[in-house]
Structure 1
Amino acid sequence: MYGENTRIIREQLAILLRQHRIQHRIGGPGIPTLPTTSTPVERRLIGLQLGRYRHAVLVWALEAVRAVDPRPHIPLADRRDRSPTTELQARLTEAVRESGPRPSIEELGGAQRYPMLIAWQTAARAATLGEHDFGATISFSSLTTSQVRTVLKDAATVTRALVVLDRRYASTPAWRPLTNRGRLADAADRCITLTDAAGVDPTVDSRGWRPQPHLITGPLSPGLAGVLQAHHNLFVSLHSIPNAQDLRRIVASQLTVSRTIAGDSDGNDPLRDTCRQREETYRQLQQRLRDVYGQTGRGAEAVSRAHIAAEYTNALTREDRLDSTPASEDLARLFTRLDDRIGRIIELGAQERLFFERVPLPEIDLSKGGPIKGQAVTYEPIRSSTPAGLVAFARSELRAIRGNSGTDDGHEHTRRQLDAALEVARAAPDGTVRAL
């Protein structure tokens, strides 16, 4: 996910920006009272490895700028303007071309001897994984203008941090300086100033590539961990649109789950408030689904998974919930994703005309046999434009339940953390004496 990968990159760069006396941190001389723990040959190999780690982060920054480029098919040399985005992309392209090779798989996953190398390795690993985010989900066409500025600012801030570290690592053996470092820094600063003035939108952190979830096979664990596994399997099995009857069964199971947890919880249970609100939401959803019909769909597997999840929840004891606070937090997050998935199913089912609503007619149905005739009804596709209809309810309550904005305070914290580290680096040049 974009937010998680960029959080790790910013976090590690902030750590590196607070570190000085680089030669000593790779085992070299520098402090008379501390011994030298590496040879000149080893320090040269470390310098080459640091360059490969930096190359991975540079490539991530370049891919981020390219992803939010409004004119991706026009070569940089043919563009008549030199906007801040175009300038930063051109300087990053030049820096990546001259920075050296990529790190190998062994370098990204192997053990490291020094903490500074661990920080670089972690940042490079997140940058390599983060390249999967750019494309269909993180692109100029799929993001809002504010989200585009957020990605651009993230790339520019990371670039600015690499420029500061490039100056600091100048005396490291085999370290290759950035090409046109000053112009690269100026281009990054212009993008940061532009995005700060126009405003950003951190909801882009919830976008990007996610690994495909898989079913948890084998017997479920006892207690709340088993409930978590059962709901994970339910979430994975909801990969297609079920018919209306199966959808009602799934909704009924989630109503039972929420009512059970909310009813048996005490004031210290973090799931209590979540499940109370969720119980009311699913109660209203169950009422709205009573007049919904549709025989097309595949939901037999999801129904069985939902039944297992409800059975495991009914078997919970109060001690199981009180002793599993981390599992409770994970289950609350899984509830949010499950609610969003059910809301999307309802919207897509209405859009594809798979669900129909029962509409009474002002006449008697004379086609049925028997002396007593009932009211005539017809079945019409669900209208998504109805303000008080099922689709509007799913969009407003399920996909926005509990104020799910798609942001994470931890991501914003690392943005502030890296900005603060850059401000300190600008205020105090590397020539001043600092403490370890």
Structure 2
Amino acid sequence: MYGQNTDVLRESLRELLTFHRIQHRIGGAGAPSVRATTTAEERRLIGEQIARYRHSVLTWCHQGLYAANPHIDHEKLTRRTRGPAEELRHRIHAALAGDHAGLPTITELTTTQPFRLVEIWRQAARACALGEHDFAAGVGHGRLSKAQALTLVHDVAEVTEALLVLDRRYDGIPGWQHLQSPTRLVRAAEACATYSRYSDPSYSVDHHGWDPPAQLIDPPGLPGIAGVVQAQHNLLVNLRTIPNAHSLRVVLDSQRLLSHETATRLTGADPAPAARWAQRAQVYARLVQQTRDIGGNLGTGGLAAGQGSIAAARMQKLPHDALLDPTQTRQLERISAGIDERVADALHYGITQRLYLQRANVLGLQDRDGTLEHVIRKRFIPMTGPLKATLIDLARNQLRPEPARHVSRPGAAESRIDFQAALHHRRGDTRPSQTL
């Protein structure tokens, strides 16, 4: 996730900003009583390795600005027409072009380094390498609100400022190569950071990004409500593919039955969740009724149908006081909301792409003993008319869960405040950092 990767990146840079006497931290001589443990050539090689880690972080910054707004043609923009974000992206692009260190190898990203300073740089570069997947998995233009995009731009601007501060401190490393045009780059980063503060930040961007895919929970079945949660989780995983019409109807009926049984058991203990489950049962009952005449063999869904039936059967066997644990009840509700979303997507896709067809009665002729008779034949035709409109309305407006509110991840603001305090710290400044 974007929040997890940027937390590691900010924490790594925050600790690096507290380091002084860089030569001593990579084996150079410090005080008169401290002898050098590395040669100048070894320190030069360490400096080149740090430069590769820095190149990885700077590449992440460039990709972050591109993800915030990819529709920028820098060839048609000039220094006077570029905005703060466009100017910073232009300066980072120039810095990357002039930095010949290159990206670190996979061995450098995965091997623990002996010096603490180099190890922290490795952790920062590793977080950036993982964070590159976030920009293609939800942290990008068109998927973020304006406030979220500005928060992304602000994070990039502050990371760039930190890189420039560290770049000046590492001047004593033999053969150290500074970033190109550091003065213009730091001015662009400061202007971009100031510009992105004009609106309130939206730290809900931390919830976006790449997550490892969920895996099936293998048998044996767990006892009690945990077994229902297990079957629902496996159903959610198996709904990654579009089910055929028969499997879809089995899934719909299993969720209707499970919702009804859950609402019955929660009626006396917790009325508010019981009402939500009862409403879910009504929606699925309407879906079961409306899909009784649909067909279609394209798709899979046999495993999903089986897990849905298992979940409903296990819920029926539970005693009436089995839902007293609020943690497991909330987990069941969260997983069921994911099932609702995937069922809604399957319905909408299957109807619009004509994977699900409508059964219709068609008049025909039959030759029986030389006599033509009118008969009614059943045919499956593309879904049109009131049935199509009803099913799409149920999937889009009633089954699909409400969009999640823009809620910040716990610790998102504190992580950025601590990073800002380390970035703008001055010697002798003992004032506590101000909250945003």
Q: Aligned partners of 1:189, 1:62: CA distance in 2, in Å? A: 16
Match of 2:177 in 1: 176
> Post-superposition shift, 1:428?
0.6
Report the Cα offset of residue 60 of structure 1. Answer: 0.6
Letter matched to residue 302 of structure 2: A
Query: What is the total number of aligned residue pairs between the two structures?
Result: 405
Matched residue, 2:122: 121
**2:152 alignment partner, SS class:** helix
SS in 1 for 2:423: helix
1:279 aligns with 2:277: yes
In structure 2, the residue matched to 1:372 is none
Paired amino acid for 2:306: S
Q: 1:262 to 1:141 in 2, by over 3 A?
A: closer
Contact 1:343 1:399 in 2 (8 A): yes
Separation in 1, partners of 2:129, 2:29? 32
What does residue 342 of structure 2 align with?
Answer: 341
Name the counterpart of 1:88: 88
Measure the CA separation in 1 of the matches of 2:73 and 2:137: 16
Q: How far did residue 127 of structure 1 move?
A: 1.1
1:196 and 1:20 mapped to 2: Cα distance? 30
- SS at structure 1 position matched to 2:385: strand
Output the CA distance in 1 between the equivalents of 2:154 and 2:93: 17
* Separation of aligned partners in 2, 1:121 and 1:333: 36
Contact 2:67 2:135 in 1 (8 A): yes
What is the deviation of 1:65? 1.4
Counterpart check, 1:302 vs 2:307: no
Alignment check: 8 A CA contact 1:291 1:357 kept: no
Mapped to 1, the partners of 2:94 and 2:417 lie a distance apart of 25
**Any stretches of 5+ residues in structure 2 without a counterpart?**
360-373, 377-382, 431-436
Q: C-alpha separation between the residues in 2 aligned to 1:351 and 1:65?
A: 36
What amino acid is aligned across from residue 133 of structure 1 in structure 2? D
Hey, what's the Cα distance between the residues in 2 that align with 1:107 and 1:324? 45
* Partner amino acid, structure 1, of 2:278: E
Give 1:43 deviation, angstroms.
Answer: 4.2
Alpha carbons of structure 1 residues 23 and 414: separation in structure 2 relative to 1, 3 Å: farther
Secondary structure, counterpart of 2:424 in structure 1: helix
- CA deviations on 1:105-131 (whole Å, 9 max, x unpaired) are 111112233444443222211211222
Q: CA deviation at 1:344?
A: 2.4
- TM-score normalised by the chain length of structure 2: 0.73
1:39 to 2:38 alignment: yes
Match of 2:405 in 1: 405
- String of CA shifts for 1:210-256, please: whole Å, max 9, x gaps: 5555556x534645776555444322321343355533432343455
Contact persistence 1:258–1:279 (CA under 8 A): yes
**Amino acid of the structure 1 residue aligned with 2:52:** R
How far, CA to CA, are the matches of 2:271 and 2:110 in structure 1? Answer: 41
Structure 1 residues 286 and 110: CA distance shift in structure 2, 3 A: same
Letter in 1 for 2:64: A
Aligned pairs for 1:369-388 (under 5 A) are: 380-382=385-387
Please tell me the root mean square deviation across aligned C-alpha atoms, in Å. 4.6
CA contact (8 A) 1:356 1:382 kept: no
Which AA in structure 2 matches 1:17? L
1:47-86 matches, within 5 Å, as: 47-69=47-69, 71-75=71-75, 81-86=81-86
Tell me how far 1:70 sits from its aligned partner: 5.0
Instruction: After superposition, give the CA deviation of every residue in 1:390-410 in whole Å (9 maximum; x if it has no partner).
Output: 545544555435x63365514
Does residue 106 of structure 1 match 2:107?
yes
Deviates most, 244-253 or 58-67:
244-253
CA distance in 1, matches of 2:19, 2:336: 41
Change (3 A) 1:257 1:67: same
1:174–1:80 Cα change, 3 Å:
same
Q: How far apart are the structure 1 equivalents of 2:271 and 2:102? A: 52
- Whichever residue aligns with residue 163 of structure 1, its letter is L
Larger Rg over CA atoms: 2
Q: For 1:124-162, what per-residue CA distance to the aligned partner results, in whole angstroms no more than 9, with x for missing partners?
A: 112112223335854435544444323322222221222
Letter in 2 for 1:153: H
Q: Deviations over 1:169-200 (max 9, x none)?
A: 33345543222222112111222222221455
1:197 aligns with 2:202: no
Gaps of 5+ in 1: 359-366, 370-377
**Structure 1 residue aligned with 2:416, among 410, 415, 418?**
418
* Shift in CA distance, 22/323, structure 1 to aligned 2, threshold 3 Å: farther
Deviations 1:308-333 (A, max 9, x none): 344566677999999996x8887665
Tell me the distance in 2 between the aligned counterparts of 1:332 and 1:31: 62
